[in-house]
């Protein structure tokens, strides 16, 4: 790791805790974006651009080494800034100061990792080419990456490769997990609306009970994975919200609703799952003389597929920072989803995990948990990794 970054760890931790205490939801990251932009400007960045996809920030840093056509390239380094709409249950001093908003996924830490790398590289421009520091809004379900692309990100800041990181509880503190090819799953969010016929709970023969239909649907959807998809092909269909009725004990409701997600690593499998979901719903509706509407919601994320060459660069950088024994490449892909995938559809790149720890108050609590907190001890690792990427790509000393 880079000693100068290590020596400044306490300052980076103060930044991170300040962001954690003031979380902002997707496309509302005004305070965080301004904090980022002002720091980049104070460090003498060549350009700082605000308001990309509403609240995104891009800092442009050009190297001072003599230009060489073989090395004079441009790469992007990305961090996400948004929080989650959930109530924090931690009691430490830097807990969220806002109701129903929390940095429960570590985006506060991702932002500071990239800021720390920006701080260091602004003082050591011994590279040839241009680095774009991309601070992205709205990763959590709102596809902020796609919004930045639609707002001209790669037209204005053309990147030959792009890199990102995510902390991950459960992975040993400071270890890095990276692999080429499928790394994280796609996600398609669905809503299933069931319309039956309400009635008295004592006379179900006069009603069309959407609760019975809902229960049948939940079970039937699981047959898509077990009976329609090759057993070795990953697919997860999760019903995460089931709602019917108004709390009354003797009323059969008129309607019911299911929500959930489909996750896969293959676009054909995703399409098959959606098609079979519609067919199953149509068949069950016909069997019960009911109406069932299946809606695939906007905001679906494609699978995160790491480029081979970019992954090789990322692997070398990781090994140089923490040592080969702490870098893992042999693990199954994760079924979580990440909108960094939109960037990878446009530009070759690599996304990886840095271990948040496997025990204690940080490693023992999963992301999206009200007791989660980012592990500040891994900030120098992430920052040093970003710097080493620039060295690998642009021949910095």
pLDDT tens digits, one per residue of 309-349: 999 999 999 999 999 999 999 999 999 999 999 999 999 99
Strand partners, 131: 61, 75
Q: Which has the closest alpha carbon to 58: 161, 137, 122?
A: 137
Cα 251 versus chain centre, distance: 42
Distance CA(162)–CA(78), nearest Å, equals 7
DSSP 264: E
Average pLDDT, consecutive stretches of 10 residues, N- to C-terminus, the chain (397 residues):
96 98 98 98 98 98 76 90 98 97 98 98 96 98 96 98 97 97 96 97 97 98 97 95 94 97 94 97 98 89 97 98 98 94 98 93 87 97 98 80
| Contact criterion met (CB below 8 Å) for 343 and 303 | no
Residues paired with 191 in a beta bridge: 259, 295
Alpha-carbon distance 103 to 21, whole Å? Answer: 8
Q: What is the pLDDT of residues 135-178, one digit of tens each?
A: 999 999 899 999 999 999 999 999 999 999 999 999 999 999 99
DSSP 8-state secondary structure symbol assigned to residue 44 = T
Question: Is beta strand 161-169 parallel, antiparallel or unpaired with respect to 349-357?
Answer: parallel
* 113, containing H or E segment: helix 107-123
Backbone angles phi, psi at 64, to 5 degrees: -110, 0
H or E element that contains 311: helix 308-322
- pLDDT of res. 360: 76
* Amino acid 59: pLDDT: 98
C-beta atoms surrounding 89 within 10 Å: 12
Query: Quick check: 261 and 245 in contact, CB under 8 A?
Result: no
pLDDT of amino acid 363 = 73
Per-residue model confidence (pLDDT) at position 215: 97
The sheet that has 47-52: what strands, in order across it?
47-52, 56-62, 129-136, 73-80, 161-169, 349-357, 176-177, 327-328
Strand, helix or coil for residue 372: coil
């Amino acid at each position: 790791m880079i000693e100068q970054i290590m020596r400044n760890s306490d300052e980076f931790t103060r930044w991170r805790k300040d962001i954690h205490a003031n979380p902002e939801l997707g496309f509302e990251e005004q305070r965080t974006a301004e904090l980022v932009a002002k720091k980049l400007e104070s460090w003498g960045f060549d350009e700082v651009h605000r308001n990309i996809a509403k609240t995104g920030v891009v800092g442009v840093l050009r190297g001072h080494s003599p230009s060489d056509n073989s090395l004079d390239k441009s790469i992007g380094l990305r961090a996400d800034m948004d929080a989650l709409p959930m109530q924090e249950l931690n009691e430490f001093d830097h807990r969220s100061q806002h109701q129903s908003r929390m940095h429960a996924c570590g985006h506060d830490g991702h932002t500071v990792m990239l800021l720390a790398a920006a701080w260091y590289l602004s003082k050591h421009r011994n590279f040839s080419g241009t680095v774009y520091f991309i601070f992205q809004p709205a990763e959590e379900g709102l596809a902020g990456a796609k919004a930045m692309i639609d707002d001209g990100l790669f037209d204005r800041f053309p990147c030959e490769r792009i890199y990102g990181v995510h902390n991950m509880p459960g992975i040993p503190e400071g270890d890095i997990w990276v692999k080429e090819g499928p790394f994280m799953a796609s996600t398609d969010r669905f809503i299933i609306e069931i319309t039956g016929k309400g009635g008295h709970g004592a006379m179900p023969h006069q009603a069309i009970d959407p609760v019975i239909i809902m229960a049948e649907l939940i079970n039937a959807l699981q047959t898509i994975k077990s009976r329609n998809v090759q057993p070795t092909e990953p697919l997860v269909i999760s019903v995460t919200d089931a709602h019917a009725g108004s709390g009354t004990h003797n009323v059969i409701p008129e309607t019911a609703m299911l929500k959930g997600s489909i996750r896969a690593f293959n676009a054909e499998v995703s399409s098959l799952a959606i098609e079979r979901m519609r067919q199953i719903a149509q068949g069950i509706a016909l069997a019960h003389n009911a109406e069932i509407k299946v809606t695939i919601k906007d905001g679906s994320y494609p699978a995160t597929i790491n480029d081979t060459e970019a992954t090789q660069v990322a692997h070398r950088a990781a090994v140089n920072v923490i040592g080969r024994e702490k870098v893992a490449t042999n693990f199954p892909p994760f079924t979580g989803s990440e909108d960094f995938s939109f960037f990878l559809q446009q530009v070759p790149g690599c996304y990886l995990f840095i271990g948040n720890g496997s025990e204690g108050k940080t490693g023992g609590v999963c992301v999206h948990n009200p007791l989660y907190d980012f592990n500040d001890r891994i900030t120098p690792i992430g920052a040093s990794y970003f710097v080493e990427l620039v060295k690998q790509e642009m021949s910095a000393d």
